Structure 1
């Protein structure tokens, strides 16, 4: 098989594997009512099937990236896909809801291996194909965006025809297909760390990993208010553990996260900050607009889903354009253009305070997809260029966690601005917040420069 078909097939396998995380985070939303009925749950309890996946994904991405850097991305990708296949084959037989949530968390950890591992492998794949890394990265982003968009539609069909069990079972052939494709055509792992198991464990900085995961989980759970009455206790404990984590990482060699290196890598830190702020603006629209259309506009949920589809469609179409533009104008100019467009679209969202007419909504969701696709691939490429090859796994994992930070920020702020429900008055406040965040993202983007080789 020539290099070109092998490269295309390898990227297809990686895209399929990375798409499982956004696919499963969006499919499950349509199954909540059925799960409540089957397990006899209340509304607050059933949301743990989403929260468990969300928390495990956010905490697992950097960890799986670090393991991919140490022990090989191809190996970790296949291990993750195997974990997904086995977990999803067993999940439909869970005897209670608690175990089902555990299955969802384990599945999330399996899918969390895919993106960081794919980013590490992209360098070798692009070099083998003689192309820019932005092209395969763009195809992976398109697959992820498409998966998130079709998730509710596919989930609705599966639940309606088969039941909630199908949401798990459908992952088995998909994960196995990704596993076998990557095993067959992806570049083999280079020489990685070797030694006795005891030495590998000793060098793995287990307390550092535990501190990172523990502090992140506690802070995220506090922000999401998953345990009412304990929010401030969890926030305080998470902050204290984070301080201990920083203290240890600055003294341990080799650390789980090289904080000194991150501190010196200004381009990478600016990518993380800019992407987190950008994501918060995007998720204001992604989470807030459907609520506005249903609560203030009185639109049926099925119609709202259709009105949101152009956002994903145009982001997919914008990605290859952005890839070509980066090749011609550079990453920074494309990134600046994307953030400027984001600011303009955020300002246009003010029009919804006066009218919720379907043509206007369609126009705005269509426009919002363009900066999402553009900034998404540009920050992705900026992250890729800002780190050494041996650090790309953990860097990609932290990058994905920044997406979750942005999503949680938007969720919390929506709750602040619209505690009694999303109406056109509260939407106006959200638009102001989006404009402030867009200005911050613009300032961060102006400061970013590609790291010198």
Structure 2
């Protein structure tokens, strides 16, 4: 299908539909499974120790797959990877729809979640690649509005995911939480086929494509898999997994510093301190966010004796405030003040937790959640904008994928923290320990933000945005945007 050329000087808003749909596939499946674990366990006779792999499988697949798929997007362009991702999402939905209801089927569902995780890996890196390509084509150094749309979309889906899952299970049973991916995957394929360009101008010409660094990918996958499994099951019996991670990580560094076209360019990454700090902020943000979302929720039900419904309602202000803050300030491209306010707000939220107890009034809980919503909106938005400016344009997709890897590492670190702090019971004493953990992490976040001088120039047009934007955006080369 032939489409009209994109408007000169303006972002091609026809790209928003596939970009937003692709970007929400991962968060919606991360959120929707939370309410499906118990029904699946009952239907298949699977204990919690087995159903938990439905969550872990997606985390592992995406933490490893996002940088890999992002690198492929950088080399081959968005279209073919986006279409392949949508097809895998549809396949995963079909597997969950047709497998028999027996105990052994739980591992088929785990396999489906792995396929689903790999399929959803294309969405976010492809979106960041397209935004960067459109920024280069239009000459807009900071497409803050488009980046805000992407951030708000993923945050909104995270809010409605559990509710949507509950409605689907109530109407059609637990299989619906898998089957919903069938139309979503098909829609991704159709929209991607019609609207995404074959080339964007960021990927190298066909005769200059670098070779795929297979050994680097293997070392990275082994490192991440061993590390994530160890973090999820910290014990003396799993120390060998940590050893595997360290050995594979050392091999990864050794190899990537020697290969001509590395999977992760450690020379460039090592020389880009601001980008490394951005990855660190992503990890810290996820650790704080998931500590609250899961650890605080457990205490609301056990320590504060609220029903699951009431606990869910108490958490709603976090997401509502986060979306509101992102919408209110997303048009401003500057990031430093967003990160400073966000870090102070999450520090304040950690301090407020220290004053909670079994009889704390609901209004105090709600106020704390509203305070937490400020960094939920500002930090995620600012980190995404910062990455956009700091990453090398030709590696924007793989850099975005690596950002998500650090985010998932933070989520797993959070589960380790509140799991070990609480033990068998989510007590008020344990909650206060979590509060101090949040205070400490927030202090580190604030410190590395204050010391990061590169943040001052990002979004300030007079100073030329960031180091990676110091050069003027080049117009797209002629013939670089054919559309099918």
Using the size of structure 1 for normalisation, the TM-score is: 0.93
| Aligned with 1:289 (options 296, 300, 307) | 296
Aligned pair 1:205/2:221, yes or no?
A: no
| Contact 1:126–1:136 (Cα < 8 Å) also in 2 | no
Give the Å deviation of 1:194: 6.5
| Aligned with 1:278 (options 260, 274, 285) | 285
| Contact 1:6–1:185 (Cα < 8 Å) also in 2 | no
For residues 70 and 136 of structure 1, do their structure 2 counterparts lie closer, same or farther at Cα, with a shift above 3 Å needed? same
| Aligned with 1:422 (options 415, 422, 426) | 426
Deviations 1:51-102 (A, max 9, x none): 1111111111111111111111232122211211122123221242212111
Cα distance in 1 for partners of 2:312, 2:7 equals 40
| Aligned with 2:223 (options 215, 227, 232) | 215
SS at match of 2:263: coil
SS at match of 2:356: helix
Listed as ranges, the matches of 1:296-307 within 5 Å are 296-307=303-314
Cα distance in 1 for partners of 2:389, 2:232 equals 33
Give the corresponding residue for 1:110: 119
| Contact 1:75–1:189 (Cα < 8 Å) also in 2 | no
| Aligned with 1:407 (options 408, 411, 424) | 411
SS at match of 2:227: helix
| Contact 2:213–2:261 (Cα < 8 Å) also in 1 | yes
Give the Å deviation of 1:425: 0.9
Give the Å deviation of 1:304: 1.3
Which stretch has the larger CA shift, 269-278 or 413-422? 413-422
Give the Å deviation of 1:440: 0.4
Listed as ranges, the matches of 1:323-338 within 5 Å are 323-326=330-333, 330-338=334-342
Cα distance in 1 for partners of 2:331, 2:211 equals 42
Give the Å deviation of 1:40: 1.6
For residues 109 and 183 of structure 1, do their structure 2 counterparts lie closer, same or farther at Cα, with a shift above 3 Å needed? same
Give the corresponding residue for 1:318: 325
Give the corresponding residue for 2:175: 165
Cα distance in 2 for partners of 1:257, 1:422 equals 40
Cα distance in 1 for partners of 2:429, 2:342 equals 28
For residues 186 and 128 of structure 1, do their structure 2 counterparts lie closer, same or farther at Cα, with a shift above 3 Å needed? farther
Give the Å deviation of 1:271: 0.6
Using the size of structure 2 for normalisation, the TM-score is: 0.87
Aligned pair 1:34/2:16, yes or no?
A: no
| Contact 1:14–1:118 (Cα < 8 Å) also in 2 | yes
Give the Å deviation of 1:229: 6.2
| Contact 1:325–1:334 (Cα < 8 Å) also in 2 | no
Cα distance in 1 for partners of 2:351, 2:134 equals 40
Give the Å deviation of 1:185: 2.9
Aligned pair 1:431/2:438, yes or no?
A: no
| Aligned with 1:74 (options 63, 79, 82) | 79
Give the Å deviation of 1:127: 5.1
For residues 125 and 285 of structure 1, do their structure 2 counterparts lie closer, same or farther at Cα, with a shift above 3 Å needed? same
| Aligned with 1:124 (options 126, 133, 136) | 133
| Contact 2:148–2:327 (Cα < 8 Å) also in 1 | yes
Give the Å deviation of 1:423: 1.3
Give the Å deviation of 1:309: 1.6
Give the corresponding residue for 1:19: 24
Aligned pair 1:50/2:59, yes or no?
A: no
Aligned length: 446
- For the aligned residue pairs, the C-alpha RMSD in angstroms reads 2.2
| Contact 2:318–2:373 (Cα < 8 Å) also in 1 | yes
| Aligned with 1:371 (options 375, 386, 408) | 375
Give the corresponding residue for 1:441: 445
Aligned pair 1:153/2:163, yes or no?
A: yes
Give the corresponding residue for 2:64: 59
SS at match of 1:348: helix
Which stretch has the larger CA shift, 255-264 or 12-21? 12-21
Aligned pair 1:134/2:144, yes or no?
A: yes
Q: Which of the pair is proportionally richer in helix?
A: 1
Give the corresponding residue for 1:176: 186
| Contact 1:212–1:245 (Cα < 8 Å) also in 2 | yes
Give the Å deviation of 1:320: 2.2
Cα distance in 2 for partners of 1:183, 1:6 equals 19
For residues 437 and 6 of structure 1, do their structure 2 counterparts lie closer, same or farther at Cα, with a shift above 3 Å needed? closer
Cα distance in 2 for partners of 1:393, 1:229 equals 37
Which stretch has the larger CA shift, 70-79 or 102-111? 70-79
Cα distance in 2 for partners of 1:6, 1:250 equals 37
For residues 3 and 317 of structure 1, do their structure 2 counterparts lie closer, same or farther at Cα, with a shift above 3 Å needed? farther
Gaps of 5+ in 1: none
Give the corresponding residue for 2:91: 86
Cα distance in 2 for partners of 1:337, 1:74 equals 38
Cα distance in 1 for partners of 2:374, 2:7 equals 32
Gaps of 5+ in 2: 456-465, 471-484
Cα distance in 2 for partners of 1:33, 1:300 equals 17
